[in-house]
Structures are given as C-alpha cells and as structure tokens.
Chain A
Amino acid sequence: MRPALEDQDNPRIVLRAENLWKSYDEGTVAVLKGVDCEVFEGQTVALCGPSGCGKSTLLHLFGGLDMPDRGRVSVNAVAVNRHRNLLRLLRHEVGFVFQLHNLIPDLTLAENCLIPTVAAGIDRRIAKARLLELAERTGLSHRLNHRIQKLSGGERQRTAICRALMNRPKILLADEPTGSLDEQARNVVFNLLLDLVATEGATLLMATHDRNLAGRCDRLVEMHDGKIHEHAHAG
C-alpha cells in the first residue's frame, strides 16, 4: 500500500504495520491476516470496515496494548515489541480515544484529564496550564470541576479527547470516537477532533463506521476479513 501523500514533501512514516497477524482464543479466531499499512505524519486516516474486521485490534497493536502473533509494528520508526519502552509510547507518543469515553466516573473532568500527566510525572503547573488550554479549546472550561456523571455524552467524549492530548502525543488513535453520540454531538466532536489534530500537528488514525466522517479524513483505508483491501483518497 502506498501512501496518498507520499509525494508531498516526503512526509515521514509514523505508523507502520508489516505483515501483521493476530488471532484470539488460542488461534481459533483469526482477526488480522497479514496486514500491511503505513500512516504518514500529520495525516488523518479513517479505518473503515465491518465489525470484527480487525480495526480495533490494529489500533491496539499500534498503541502497544497488544502484541501481534506475527509481523512487525513500528511507531516513529521504532518497533513496538515487548523490549520497547511501552510506557514511554503510551505516555508521550500516542493518545487513545475510545468509543466509550472510558473516564473514571468519581473523578472530575479536570482530574480525569490530568491522569496521563500524573502517570508521566509532568510538573503540576505545566499540566494545569495544558489542561486550561485544552479545556478552552474544547469549550469545557466551565465544566472542569464537574464530575463525569454530570456531563453529557458529547462533553464526556470531548473530555476523553482532552485527556488523550494532555501529554502532547503526536499520534492519536481513535476507536469509533463518535460511535456512541447522536448526530449533532457527533459532528461537534468530530470537528473538534480534526481541529485539534490539525493545530497540534498530530496524526490521526481513526476506526469508524461512519462513511461521512471517514470521507472528511485525508485517507480512507478499508479493512475486510482481517486484511486491508483497498485504500482511497478521501476528503
């Protein structure tokens, strides 16, 4: 698979999968069957395909949350394997946004967003400044001290995006980030996501079922039956 933007200023490959194989239940359920994929710096890439085709699995492998049975994954040209410092990957290089916001309900919005900074040992003042900056940009400044239960679905997902970007990762892995939202909230959250990714200079790899949203990304990659079958220019 060749990148859509390959000929534009020689962009750097930030995510690369080479002949990836992954199965579950002791090999009886094969999910990825030889996936090859490259994502270039600054791209927004939509990963589309039916449920169970391996989109989430591919995201997890890129984020170091799981390991392939075969093949090679690399992030920023460094292989993701058990020998790699996976903590550094999760703390500084990639941020995750999930379909379910995965926020801790008993903590406030601010506390949830600060979790990655606590994990990475970032200075409290710097973390607070970053939080205020992101809250301002996501329109959540007035909700900082509110508990997650008090927030709407859209606000929760915006909070999850804030949290993912707290440590300024250059890669955002989003797994159906608007999948649990109504149409209005979906558009708000997706616009915000694209805007933040652009202003942060980050790369977005997003698994989605939503063809409309996928069409607004730089690239659209189709997955089917554990393989990448086609890719197309989008947007």
Chain B
Amino acid sequence: MIFLKLIVTNLRRHGIRSLISVAGIAFSVAAMLTVVTILQGAIGMFSSILSSDSEMIVFERDVSDLFFSNVPAEAAGQISSWPAVERANPVLFGIVSSAGHPIITCFGVTPADARIQKAVWLQGDRRSFAQDAEDVVLGTRAAEFLSASLGSRVQIGHATFHVVGVLKTANGFEDGGVFMPLASAQSFFHKEGTSSVITVKLRNKDDAAAFKKMVSARYPNLIALEDAEFTRSYSQFRILKATAWAVGGCGLLLGGLGVANTMIMSVFARIREIAILRVNGFSHLQIGGVIFGESAVVSASGAIAGLLIGSCFLYVLKAIPALGGYVDPTIHPLLMLVVLLLALLTGIAGALYPAVYAMRIRAVEALRFE
C-alpha cells in the first residue's frame, strides 16, 4: 500500500506533467490503433474482394501488385473445366479517375461472378449486366459520389458509360467501385485477352494442394494460393502492415520519450526522497520498482485512454460519409493486447535510464541535496 502510495504520490505532486505524459501515450496508442485498424480493415476488405465466394486465387507469378498481373483469358476457361474446380471467375482490376474523384476502382467481371450474383441490387436487374459493352453497375457509394442512378450516363476516365444497376455489398471497396463486363474492362484498360486474377472455388477444399501443383505444372507463369495464404504473403499487404506498425511505432516512440522525460524530471525532483528510502533500507530493486511503477501507471493510464480515444476516433471516421464502408471500427482483441503491451513496454523503456539513475543515487550525497 505504501509502495503504491509512493508511486502515486509523485504523479499527483506533478499533476500537469503527469497528465501530459499520459496524454502523450494516449495519443500515441490512439494513433497506432487507428492506423493499424484502418489498414487492417482495408486489407481485410481487399482480401474479401478476392475471396468472394472462392477459396483460391490464381495470378501472375512474381508480381508485386495485382493490378500489374496478367492472366491469359483462356486459362480461366481451362481451369474451370478441371474436375476439382466448381467455378473459376476471371477478374480484371483497374483504377481510373473522374472529375473530382482521383481514384475509382473498376472491376471487370463476368455475369456469373459472385460479386454480381450475390450482391443486393438496389436498382436495376442483375440479368441486365453485360448486355451491352457500355453498361456498368455502380456500388452504392460510387453512385453517390458520381451522382448517378439507374439509367444515368457517367463519365469514367476517358469514356462514358450507361448505368444499368446500383448494388450494395458488404465491402467498402466494392461499394465504391464500378463493375464492368470483363470484355469492356479489357478493352478500356488495354488488356485484351487477360484478367488480373482468377478466383477459384473448389468442389473440395482438401484439393487445394493438388490444385496448386496443377496450376504450377500447366502454367509456369502463374501461381495459385489459398486466400489466407495470399493475404499473408502478398507483398502489398505486408508493406501496408509494416507501414502501419512503423507509423504507430513512431507514435509510441514519441510517447515513450515523453515518459522518459517525465521520469527523469521525477527522479531529479525526488532525489532527496530516494535517499531517504535508501537510508531506510530500500534496495536498488525497490527504488527501481518505485520508478518503474510510476512509469507503468503513466503508460497503463495512457494506453487505456488511448484505446478509448482510438475507438471513438474510428467511430467518427466510420460516420464520415466519404469514408463509409472503408473503415471498420472493430478493434481486434489481439491488436488491443499488442498495443497495450507495446505501451507498457514503451513506458518501461522510458523509465530505464531514470530508474538506473535513481538506483545509483548515493544516499549520503543526496541527503545534502536541496
């Protein structure tokens, strides 16, 4: 109890300084949580686009970005005829811009694609998709920001298209995208005869390994991966994740420096007190414990405040119409745990030097300290 009071007393004594340190950790945690959650959400959404009613993805071997992947159109036809395969759908990804909207994701798909078949059609009829080369279907958000509805004509990139439907999916990327007939997309993006990927649904999931071998054998330039495997290994995702953690880590580092500063000030302010504890039998470890305890209280308070701030921030982002569907405010418990642990570790690291300094204080000299 007294040990705890020794820890808390000094924080209360310098309340404003302590609050600033807590705020530093809190905003670092909130920043890390927000950045990582948004990026994980984005990765999750992109993964779910790829794995829409499928469990395998086939794409060009050794490409770092699926937008640059070229899969021959005939491969989709051949793969879909394999006995183990229930369905194989070619998908072409493309990005275009339109007035006021620098990035619009385009999906070139066949009418049989799960994205067309399983989405909720708010306007139009799914049977009308791909009847004409100029036809497009818009996701709900794309329809909003393009101010388009059924029957409208919209300018997308260098061409004008006729809107034959508006659909709602659970995926923010798809909701903000434009669905074109595959042939139109190939022509639009000058990728005739190719797709970016083939999404494959197997009759039996246990055949995944055999399927991968078959793809490698038949198409040396292509590779087949299971969806989860793809999400883990896709370099773009890895770069995004690394960036998210790096940005968050920098935030925490700054927070840690704040804690270190506070703890150094704290130790300097209580040199005499530390000497009193030494004279009364406190060991180096017990003195260190007081300093680390103080930093742990700062870090833990900051981490909890940061979780709350981060969660609120994510909900605010989700409520912004322009970001609708892109932000998933659900914080994964493991992420929460990792962020809390990192915050605590940051606090401990920040208190290392002050604690060592405190442990080395010589009582006899410190008692003369005014």
Interface residues of A (CB under 8 A from B): 60, 63, 65-66, 87, 90-91, 96, 98, 102-104, 106-107, 111, 114-116, 118-120, 163, 167
Contact = CB atoms under 8 A, between A and B. Distances in A.
Nearest to B3: A118
Contacts of A163: 280
Contacts of B277: 115, 119
A67 to B, nearest CB: 10
B5 A111 contact: yes
Interface stretch (B46-54, B170-178, B211-219, B281-289): B281-289
A90 B281 contact: yes
Contacts of A116: 280-281
Interface in B146-160: none
B190 interface: no
Interface size class on chain B is 20 to 34
Interface in B260-298: 272-273, 276-283, 286
B182 to A, nearest CB: 74
> Which residue, of B2, B9, B13, B286, has the highest number of chain A Cβ atoms within 10 A?
B2
Contacts of B283: 87, 119
Interface in B135-189: none
B363 A65 contact: yes
B364 interface: yes
Given A106-B9, A118-B2, A167 B281 contact: yes
Given A90-B278, A96-B279, A115-B277, 13 more contacts: A65-B279, A65-B364, A87-B281, A87-B283, A104-B6, A104-B273, A104-B276, A114-B2, A115-B280, A116-B280, A119-B280, A119-B282, A120-B281
B246 interface: no
8 contacts: A63-B279, A90-B281, A91-B281, A115-B280, A116-B280, A118-B2, A119-B277, A119-B283
Nearest to A103: B276
Given A98-B367, A106-B13, A90 B273 contact: no
Contacts of A66: 362, 364
Q: For chain B, what secondary structure do more than half of its interface residues adopt (helix, strand, loop), or is it mixed?
A: helix
Given A65-B364, A102-B276, A102-B367, A107 B281 contact: no
A90 B280 contact: yes
A98 B2 CA distance: 22
A-B pairs, top 6 by smallest CB distance, nearest first, are: A119-B281, A91-B281, A65-B364, A106-B9, A90-B281, A116-B280
B2 A115 contact: yes
A87 B3 CA distance: 18
A167 B279 CA distance: 13
A114 B364 CA distance: 21
A120 B2 CA distance: 13
Contacts of A102: 272, 276, 279, 367
Interface string B122-144: 00000000000000000000000
Contacts of B364: 60, 65-66
A91 B279 CA distance: 9
Nearest to A57: B364
B269 to A, nearest CB: 12
Interface in B326-370: 362-364, 367
B283 to A, nearest CB: 5
A107 B5 CA distance: 8
A163 B2 CA distance: 14
Contacts of B281: 87, 90-91, 116, 119-120, 167
Point out which of B273, B278, B281 has the most chain A C-beta atoms below 10 A from its C-beta.
B281
A63 to B, nearest CB: 8
A104 B276 CA distance: 8
A106 B14 CA distance: 12
Contacts of A111: 2, 5
Contacts of B286: 119
Nearest to A96: B279
Contacts of A118: 2-3
B365 to A, nearest CB: 9
Interface string B75-91: 00000000000000000
Nearest to B286: A119
